[in-house]
Amino acid sequence: MGDYVIKAVLFDLDGTLANSLFDLAFATNRALKMHGYKEHPVDSYKYFVGDGIPKMIERALPENARDAATVELIKKDFTDYYKDHHSDRTKTYNGVPELLQKLNEMGLILAVVTNKAEPLARQLVFGLLGEKTFNVVNGQRDGIPNKPDPTLALITMEELGVKPEECIFIGDSGMDVLTGVNSGAYPVGELWGYRGEEELRANGAKVIISEPMELVKVIEELNS
């Protein structure tokens, strides 16, 4: 299946490893309500999330209130609450812990690359999956552009000691598979998250899977 020999898997977080939609929606709606803005149904957040917390809040605000000061105000109230309530109802997807265990048994190197703020990302990942499952957990940080820019993915690969063609990048959104494309990794889309197959294909997913353990077969075929 080409020139890929997979040694590492880079995972998106929200919508890929964990279903965090309710907690993200609740914390954002709470902050919006505090300042008199309209709340949104949880399902609306499937299309608000993915590009980092500031962009999620911007999308949740009315168009006439998306100035930097208002976004920052809502973000502060969101973060003050979310940092202590990020896992109230957030769970890993069915099959994800088993997949991660299998990949570790296969000797693969695992990392998380997310647009979620890095301290929150690490808090969530370590709380749900422990501190030893992933070699690296990298999130949004100052001075580094968000996905689908490949910078953070490439930094992660360097930290792991692998080349792009030795990596799979897997996520639930077009932005995630495009990050894989842009970084030179093998882009895999998955359907248990927030977005759909059409978006994944349009952004360059080479394979789309419906269940976590299907990733094992993808890796075995690439490495055969």
Catalytic residues: 12
Contact 219, 186 (CB under 8 A): no
| Sheet arrangement for strand 167-171 | 136-140, 109-117, 8-11, 167-171, 186-190, 207-209
Amino acid residing at 218: V
Give strand pairing partners of 188: 170, 207
Q: Is 53 exposed, middle or buried (0-12, 13-18, 19+ CB in 10 A)?
A: buried
- Counting Cα atoms < 13 Å in the Cβ hemisphere of 61 gives 23
Contact 129, 17 (CB under 8 A): yes
